Amino acid sequence: MRFCAAVRLLAKNRFRIHPFRWGMTFMVLLCSAISSTLYLIVKLLHGRRIDQTNISEPPIFIIGHWRSGTTLLHELLIRDPRFAYPTTYECFAANHFVVSEWILPRMFWFLLPPKRPMDNMSAGFDRPQEEEIALCALGAPTPYLRMAFPNHPPPYSEFYDMEGVNANDLQRFKHLLTWFVKALTYYKKKRIVLKSPPNTGRIAVLADIFPGTKFIHCVRDPCALFPSTRRTWEALDHAQGFQLPNHEDLDEYIFDTLPRMYGGFESQRSSVDPTSICDVRYEDLAHDPVGQLQMVYEKLDIGGFENVRAQIEEYVESQKDYQPNRHELDPDTKAEILRRWSDYGLKYGYCEPGDA
C-alpha cells in the first residue's frame, strides 16, 4: 500500500490502533513510504509499457466461497506452463513488484511462515495468492480492508454483489484491477490465472472488463464452509489487524456474506456466456483432482490437457500426505447454517428441502 493510502486508511478509522500494534503500524508506514518511492520508479521505467500491454488472452478466474477448494484448484491449474499467477510477494508488493521482486523476497523470506495460518498448505513469497490482496495494496475499494480494523463495521460489503456500488469506487476498482493484470501480463508474458472468493459476486463486471474471460466456480458442503471460513478470518484478523480482534460479530458477518455473494453470482450468471463458466464440487475435486481438471479443460475449451497431465499427476502425488483441518460443529450452529444458507445448499445439492 502506498503511503497516502495507508494514512487515509488509518485516519478513516480514527487511528484506533491497539498499543500492541504500534510497532506493526510503524513498520506498515515505513514500508508504504518505500512502496510509494518504488511505485514512482515503476511508473518512470515501465509505466508506459504496462499501460500499453495488450491482454490478448483474458484471465481465468477461479471463484467460489472461501474454503470451497479454490486454492486446491489454483494449485492444480498453474501446473500448466502456459499459465502464470500472482505470487504472494506480487500481491503484497503490487505497486512495485516489477522492479523489486528480484531482490526483496530474498532479503525478507523469513517474514512468512512455512504454512498458511488457516490451513496446512504451503506458504511463501513465491506461492499463489489472491489478487484481492493486491487490490488492498493498490488502494482499491475492497471488503478485505476489514482485516485492518476487524472491530469496526466492515467496509465495502457492496463489492460482494456489486449492488449499490458508488460509481467512483467502481471506476477505481476497474482501473486498478486492469492495471494489475496488465502489469502481471507485461512481467510474465503468459495468460494469468486469478483466484479470489469476492469475485464470485462480480462475474458480470469481470466479464465486462475482460471480454472472453472464463470462470471456474467451486462449491462445497456449507457445513464445512462455515467453520473453515471462521478459522480463516480469525487467523487473518490476528495477523493483519491494527487491533486485537474481539470477533463479536464475526459469525454474523460470515452468515451474511455468502447469500450476498451468491445473490450477485446467480443474478449475474445469466448475463455471462454459459460456455465460459464451469462448476466444480470440492468433494469431487478432492476425490479425483486429475479427472475434475480434465473436465474443466474440456468444458471451457482450454485445450492441451494431455500435455500437462503428467505435471498435474506429479503434483497430486506430492500432496498425498496432506491432512486438511477438521472442524466440529455444535448442533445449534449447524441448524443455523442449514437455515440461513439453505438456498446455497439446495442449489448445489448439499441439503434437501426439509433440512432447513
**For 115-158, what is each residue's pLDDT tens digit?**
655 555 566 788 899 999 999 999 999 999 999 999 999 999 99
For residue 155, what are the CA distances in angstroms to 11, 67, 107, 152, 255? 14, 22, 34, 9, 16
Q: What is the mean pLDDT of the chain?
A: 92
Q: Which residue has the higher pLDDT, 69 or 111?
A: 69
Task: Tell me, yes or no, whether 24 lies in a domain.
Answer: yes
Go through 202-231 and write b for each residue having 16 or more CB atoms within 10 A of its CB, e for each that does not: bbbbbbebbeebbbbbbbbbbbbbbbbbbb
For residue 60, what are the CA distances in angstroms to 68, 214, 278, 311? 17, 5, 11, 19
Task: Tell me, yes or no, whether 239 lies in a domain.
Answer: yes
- For 184, the domain range is 3-322
pLDDT of 297 > 70? The answer is yes
Task: Tell me, yes or no, whether 334 lies in a domain.
Answer: no
pLDDT of residue 114: 61
pLDDT of residue 125: 83
Give the rounded percent of residues in the chain with a pLDDT score beyond 90: 87
CATH number at residue 232: 3.40.50.300
Phi-psi region of 329 (alpha: psi -120 to 50; beta: other; left: phi over 0): beta
Q: How far apart are CA 7 and CA 313, in angstroms?
A: 47
pLDDT digits (tens, 9 = 90+) for 206-264: 999 999 999 999 999 999 999 999 999 999 999 899 999 999 999 999 999 999 999 99
Task: Tell me, yes or no, whether 248 lies in a domain.
Answer: yes
> Can you spell out the DSSP letters for 249-277?
THHHHHHHHHHHHHHHHHHHHTTS-GGGE
Q: Would you state the cell numbers that stand for residue 227, as one nine-digit string?
A: 467453520
pLDDT digits (tens, 9 = 90+) for 27-36: 999 999 999 9
| Predicted TM-score (pTM) of this structure | 0.93
- Do the bridges between strand 214-219 and strand 277-281 make them parallel or antiparallel, or are there none, so unpaired? parallel
Task: Tell me, yes or no, whether 328 lies in a domain.
Answer: no
pLDDT of 73 > 60? The answer is yes
pLDDT of 303 > 80? The answer is yes
Task: Tell me, yes or no, whether 340 lies in a domain.
Answer: no
Task: Tell me, yes or no, whether 279 lies in a domain.
Answer: yes
Q: What total number of domains does the chain contain?
A: 1
Task: Tell me, yes or no, whether 331 lies in a domain.
Answer: no
At 163, is the pLDDT very low, low, confident or very high (cuts 50, 70, 90)?
Answer: very high
Q: Residue 152, Cα to own-chain centre: how many angstroms?
A: 22
At 321, is the pLDDT very low, low, confident or very high (cuts 50, 70, 90)?
Answer: confident
pLDDT digits (tens, 9 = 90+) for 309-318: 999 999 999 8
Q: Residue 348, Cα to own-chain centre: how many angstroms?
A: 22
